[in-house]
Amino acid sequence: MLKALQRVAKVMESNLVWFVLLSIAVGVAFGWAFPATAKTLKSYTTVILFIMLYPMMIGLRIEEVGKAVKNLKLISLSMLFNFVLSPLLAALLAYLFLHNRPDFAVGLILTGTVPCAGMVAAWTGYAKGNVALALVIVALSLLVSIVMIPVWMPILAGVYVAIDAWGMFKEVLLAVVVPLILGDITRRAIVRIWGEAGFREVRPVLPGASMLGMYLIVFVSMALEANNILQHPQYFLIILVPLAIFYALLFTGSLLFSKLVKFSYEDMIAFAYGTAGKNISIALGLATLFFSPMTVLVLALKPIIQIGFMAAFLRLSPRLRSWFVPAGLHIQAATSK
């Protein structure tokens, strides 16, 4: 049974973009064919959000944050990129491209404000980067986001829509911390009962379970706005252009900055993915809780661009290796001093 679930999860994870597109298409078709029924789906949003966020939290080890002191400089710079430069870049692009589309502008700003995702560690591993460092960036970013999202969204997105900062803080705390605590308890219980080997067998199922919730959220949101989307197909192009520019600048900026400060190749990979690999699930969850389905559309289209850039960066990574000093040489240089 577990092997079958692992295979299903692998299919859902490796075909993320196609499943997102399918969720959009089926949601729009359902909302167009059954508009009255589609409106009733919104009442299931809270349950679907839990399905999306809880499995993701089971696989996250918050205790990794304690390792941040071992590489304080790099971790601090990743937080600067994640929670200062990224939100400001998103806000600038929202103003340039989407100032007359407030719902879309808010979606782009939310994209730049959310932390990185757990999949960052996997992509870092594929590119032979520093996976341990990537895990620290993911765990710490998630905790910092609890405060920074409610701080930035009223400042940057409040010019487009009304945002209750205190209300958002409470909801972010609830939406992130409750699944986080339950996920940590679940992980510890699994390890206690079946050991680390048992948890390693369960872990591959978790991304697929989380993505199932994500696909359901996209389906519900698209069903709610089906007529609007069908009447304005140009929305897709309006959204995709600034998203593509955002990720192009984020990946390029993190790469050039890594070269400037002389990161090793392994650390550069963790830093680049840790700053550009935004958390799709949390962004979708917050968009669903606080904003309109048109804002959710931005987050629904985000994986198409994000996964494309992450895959392109992975293909480019072997050529980038010669640009950076290997981690072992950093250690030797430090020892010789």
pLDDT at 333: 42
pLDDT at 73: 85
pLDDT at 225: 83
Structure tokens at 244: 């593509």
Q: What's 140-157 look like in SS3?
A: HHHHHHHHHHHHHHHHHH
Burial letters 192-219, b for 16+ CB under 10 A, else e: eeeeeeebeebbbbbbbbbbbbbbbbbb
Picking from 143, 140, 146, 180, the residue whose alpha carbon sits closest to that of residue 55 is 180
pLDDT at 118: 73
pLDDT at 337: 43
- Chain segment 212-252, per-residue pLDDT in tens: 888 888 898 889 888 888 888 899 999 999 999 999 999 99
User: What does the CA dihedral 135, 199, 182, 211 come to, rounded to 10 degrees?
Assistant: 70
Instruction: Give the bridge partners for 325, in sequence order.
Output: 264
CA distance 126 to 77: 23
pLDDT at 332: 45
User: What does the CA dihedral 153, 154, 156, 159 come to, rounded to 10 degrees?
Assistant: 130
Backbone angles phi, psi at 335, to 5 degrees: -70, -40
Quote the DSSP letter at residue 84: I
pTM of the model: 0.84
Helices (H), 174-234: 178-202, 205-224, 226-231
- Chain segment 119-149, per-residue pLDDT in tens: 788 888 889 999 888 888 988 898 899 899 9
Q: What is the CA radius of gyration of the chain?
A: 20
Structure tokens at 299: 């987050």
**Parts of the chain with a pLDDT under 50:** 329-337
- CATH class given for the domain over 2-324: mainly alpha
- Alpha-carbon separation of residue 111 from 21, 53, 186, 280, 306 (angstroms): 18, 17, 29, 8, 10
Domain ranges across the chain? 2-324
